[in-house]
């Protein structure tokens, strides 16, 4: 009987195998292999002796460097090697698809929520603007402010047109050439009358400018005072109570002499005052912006008056010089006539 054992250096695998084969092989000493060898034990059993005889032969085994790589061609082994990778790839793909679906659903849900929020905010903003306009138009139709403000604005616009026209007229008169005027034919009072008319119109426009400025100042001041009073009324609400007469019975305990009607009137008054203040606060900046324009018009009117006054004085001096020149010519002619007679 023979047995082949393959072992690494320092291992006892061959001894253990031999112990399983032969009962007395446990007493065989261990063999330390210096090189990778194959040990073959031949066991011969004699009939006369009790112990068997062992003979060992060694054959060298090629090292792992010299051995050729084992190429597996079994389809089962190939499938067993590829299956884990295929399973991992398919699992990752499934996880990615699930995560993508969840992300798309979350994005869609968030976009729908944002659309609803934007729609609600836009509706609320539109409603607020509509309520503000309604309050504004209601205030314009129910207050004395509605009667004064349009008149002041119309007067402001008509005053601007009149100022433009009179300034153009003043420039035309001031730039008029006096050398082309024939003082023998033209009445001297005609040009002076024209200058006087322009000066009168300039004075009228200057007075209108003062009136417009004072009206706008009153309007803006009343607007600011109304806004302050409305803000103070919103913080503190006052209830007017008539003093009880001698014949009237005293009010019951725990009850106020002002009933619910008084409270309702107070609430309506405060709401009306707040609406009036809101409307005035929107119009007041417009009139405040018109005040510098009126100041500029006043300065232009003053300059036009000075220009027309200078042109009028120039015309008067020219007329005076012409009158003096005409008188000297007449005297010279009389002297010449006297000399000829002599």
Q: Within 13 Å, how many C-alpha atoms sit on residue 9's CB side?
A: 4
332 falls within a domain: no
Whether residue 336 lies inside any domain: the answer is no
Decide which of 237 and 103 is more confident: 103
Task: State the Cα–Cα distance between residues 219 and 53, nearest whole angstrom.
Answer: 138
Task: Tell me the C-alpha distance between 172 and 135, whole Å.
Answer: 50
Specify burial of residue 270 (Cβ count, 10 A radius: 0-12, 13-18, 19+).
middle
Residue 248 is assigned to a structural domain of this protein: no
Tell me: do 108 and 168 sit in the same domain: no
**Is the model's pTM score more than 0.75?**
no
Number of domains in the chain: 3
Together in a domain, 209 and 283: yes
Flag whether 243 is in a domain: no
Do residues 86 and 194 both lie within one domain?
no
The answer on 277 and 170 residing in a single domain is yes
Domain shared by 105 and 185, yes or no: no
Residues 82 and 221 in one domain: no
Residues 39 and 170 both lie in one domain: no
Residue 189, domain member (yes or no): yes
Cα 237 to Cα 135, 226, 234, 241, 264, distances in angstroms: 21, 16, 7, 13, 12
Q: Residue 105 is part of which domain span?
A: 76-132
Q: Is residue 21 a part of any domain in this protein?
A: yes
Query: Which is more confidently placed, 5 or 205?
Result: 205
Q: How far apart are CA 309 and CA 195, in angstroms?
A: 8
Q: Does residue 143 surpass a pLDDT of 70?
A: no
Task: Report residue 139's pLDDT band, with 50, 70 and 90 as the boundaries.
Answer: low
Confidence of residue 82 (pLDDT cuts 50, 70, 90): confident
Residue 94 within any structural domain of the chain = yes
- 148 and 273 share a domain? yes
31-51: average pLDDT: 48
């Amino acid at each position: 009987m023979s047995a082949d054992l393959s072992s690494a250096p320092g291992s006892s695998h061959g001894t253990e195998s031999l112990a399983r084969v032969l009962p007395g092989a446990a007493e065989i000493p261990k063999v330390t292999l210096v090189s990778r060898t194959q040990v073959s034990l031949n066991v011969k059993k004699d009939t006369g002796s009790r112990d068997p005889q062992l003979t060992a032969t060694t054959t060298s085994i090629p090292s792992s460097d010299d051995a050729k790589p084992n190429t597996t061609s079994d389809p089962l082994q190939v499938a067993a090697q590829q299956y884990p990778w295929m399973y991992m790839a398919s699992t990752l793909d499934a996880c990615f698809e699930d995560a993508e679906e969840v992300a798309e659903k979350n994005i869609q849900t968030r976009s729908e929520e944002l659309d609803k929020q934007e729609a609600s905010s836009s509706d609320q903003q539109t409603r607020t603007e509509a309520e503000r306009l309604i309050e504004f138009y209601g205030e314009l139709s129910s207050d004395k402010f509605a009667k004064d403000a349009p008149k002041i604005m119309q007067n402001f616009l008509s005053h601007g047109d009149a100022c433009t026209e009179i300034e153009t007229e003043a420039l035309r008169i001031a730039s008029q050439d006096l050398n082309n005027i024939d003082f023998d034919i033209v009445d001297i009072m005609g040009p002076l009358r024209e200058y006087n008319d322009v000066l009168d119109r300039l004075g009228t426009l200057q007075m209108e400018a003062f009136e417009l400025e004072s009206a706008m100042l009153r309007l803006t001041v009343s607007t600011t005072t109304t806004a302050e009073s409305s803000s103070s009324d919103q913080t503190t609400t006052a209830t007017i109570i008539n003093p009880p007469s001698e014949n009237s019975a005293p009010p019951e305990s725990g009850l106020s002499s002002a009933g619910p009607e008084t409270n309702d009137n107070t609430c309506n008054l405060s709401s009306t005052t707040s609406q009036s203040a809101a409307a005035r606060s929107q119009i007041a900046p417009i009139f405040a912006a018109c005040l510098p324009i009126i100041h500029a018009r006043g300065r232009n009117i003053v300059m036009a008056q000075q220009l027309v006054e200078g042109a009028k004085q120039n015309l008067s001096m020219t007329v005076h010089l012409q009158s003096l020149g005409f008188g000297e010519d007449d005297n010279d002619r009389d002297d010449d006539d006297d000399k000829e007679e002599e």
